[in-house]
Chains A and B, each alone.
Chain A
């Protein structure tokens, strides 16, 4: 029900302040990226006098962000594809199939959600080195898949649990195999959840710095976020250049969010209600 009168303002004012607090850093970054270094040093909060895209161009041209963007696209696309395939299969199995140890296996998957990456960093690095996947796209794709798969399985299982068992039974009666049910029923019905999970995982993979930093050790294989972070040097004071790099890296994420914001919200709440 829509709030009226005083109650409406009680809600609206804090929401506006919250929106302002969220939007301001973006506006600030945009403004800084449009300033010269001198302008920034003399007054970082003032509006840019002479708007310039030089910092964005510099970040793109001289820092190899174009190559890093390609790497990010490759790794993100590969990881998301693998995550969707494995996540949807596992979600189907956990929600609709009956097999021994299902509950325990699901709990193990959920448990993996609670392990911070920092805890497994060293063994992860060692194993990846031993199987010669350090500094390769495949290595990073597998790393992301391993890291984000528990979350994907959790969401897909929640979503598939809502599908009435009668539909699956009907397909079985019609002679469909387990794989056939997955392909003909689960995949088409899971479209909203797959889209949401895909978008969320794409954002996770795109924004990651730590895992990528560990896996991709040569500059030519570096991903965009690591490239942008490296723009700072030790304690670099060229903040406008850094802001230019941040903008380059953030634009695809902002675009994805604007286009798919409803699906992202749906994805986060998938499985939170039943019926």
Chain B
């Protein structure tokens, strides 16, 4: 409303009473003053600690989860028993913003004392802000596995807590409905193709897939890779000698497109989120197979909750018999903890990392949260789920994942190209040319 001389204007001038604004402002300012008081004393993240007092701050994306509460409680009590008077604060950050937030802290040189990392590219891109740990964690080397995912240029920058790997999970009830033997999962690509045709005929999706984030191709490459590459080619890929024009690489990308064209997947793959829609569909019985995880999500425990005895698991199928006669579970370090360079007492921070990787804590992570622990000494027999036992039995023969050997930049490109490949906007040859250029 346009103010006029006879309206509120004159009233405002003639009676200078305290208006609504002042009434609102006074309590608000009082609240601010209270807030200033409430915020003191200030807790600064990354304040570090010295022996006998202080605080260590840990950033992660798990300490708020109900399933990991016991893990963190055990790690904390283990550490506090060794260092009375030193406080430990776990700060659960939203995973979506975790690396953005950490990146800002790193650029500003101020943040937590210890940070959680995914193995591979996410950690390797940030090693300049991490302390090398080789001379400090020698006593953990034999007990823990999965170190390679936390190394760069032969230096170790984080301690593995869980393993990461891509087994093929399947739903026995869906197999049964399709007239298949639920106790005999496919061992070769040919068998898998026959299986998929039968499942599709019975009205279900053969595989659940979500490629909205572009992550589907990572699972496909690392999942099918062991059945396509010869052992020598596999090792060469991990060592950085990657031939993007080889028939084997082409076979995997051809298969990515072909399986979609043959209708293996649920509808709308490029608009379906992998986390968690893809896995929710599988848990809900809406698919025969899924390439899942052994780490902290989409694993045997979460599927077992809904599928129970119908949950089965198998290793990657042999897709290229000329190269491969038997396959293995692709697995390596999953998540781990690194010590930030700016921490005031590195020895104390390393001790906390050791508590976070203690056998007692790791056992709880496995039993309650379902992640396969990176600790070889954890007794996995206490869990009565057949799929978990099988996965653990495959670990000694495992090799690292193919996709984590790539840089974050190449992975981003691969995500986008995988979507375009499915929608028919690019050819496999074009995809491989672009990836080869990015991976130089």
Contact = CB atoms under 8 A, between A and B. Distances in A.
A84 B21 CA distance: 9
A191 B94 contact: no
A163 interface: yes
Interface string A178-193: 0000011101110110
Interface in B195-239: none
Given A230-B93, A232-B95, A81 B32 contact: yes
A4 interface: no
A234 interface: yes
Contacts of A43: 284
B229 to A, nearest CB: 28
B61 interface: yes
Contacts of B81: none
Interface stretch (A150-158, A210-218, A248-256): A210-218
B348 to A, nearest CB: 19
B396 to A, nearest CB: 27
A131 B277 CA distance: 44
Interface in B93-139: 93-97, 101, 104-105, 107-111
Contact of A213 (B57, B66, B93, B284): B93
Interface residues of A, number: 67
A90 interface: no
Interface residues of chain B: helix, strand, loop or mixed (majority): helix
B280 A41 contact: yes
A209 interface: yes
A205 interface: no
Contacts of A122: 104, 107-108
B42 interface: yes
B52 to A, nearest CB: 22
B301 to A, nearest CB: 11
Given A77-B28, A81-B32, A221-B39, A234 B280 contact: no
Nearest to B276: A237
Contacts of B260: none
A162 interface: yes
Contacts of B108: 122, 125-126, 129
A226 B94 contact: yes
A11 B334 CA distance: 54
Given A138-B39, A217-B44, A217-B45, 14 more contacts: A41-B280, A73-B31, A125-B108, A138-B32, A187-B19, A188-B12, A191-B20, A191-B21, A209-B94, A209-B97, A232-B95, A234-B61, A236-B276, A237-B279
Interface of B: 1-3, 5, 8-9, 11-13, 16, 19-22, 24-25, 28-29, 31-32, 34-36, 38-40, 42-45, 57, 61-62, 64-66, 89, 91-97, 101, 104-105, 107-111, 275-276, 279-280, 283-285, 296-298, 302, 306
19 contacts: A40-B280, A74-B31, A78-B32, A81-B31, A84-B25, A126-B109, A132-B44, A134-B45, A184-B16, A187-B12, A188-B21, A194-B21, A220-B43, A233-B65, A234-B297, A235-B276, A235-B298, A236-B65, A237-B280
Q: Which 7 A-B pairs have the closest CB atoms?
A: A188-B12, A81-B28, A235-B275, A78-B32, A137-B35, A217-B45, A229-B94
Interface of A: 38, 40-44, 62-63, 73-75, 77-78, 80-82, 84-85, 121-122, 125-126, 129, 132, 134-138, 141, 162-164, 167, 171, 174, 183-185, 187-189, 191-192, 194, 198, 209-210, 213-214, 217-221, 226, 229-237, 239, 275
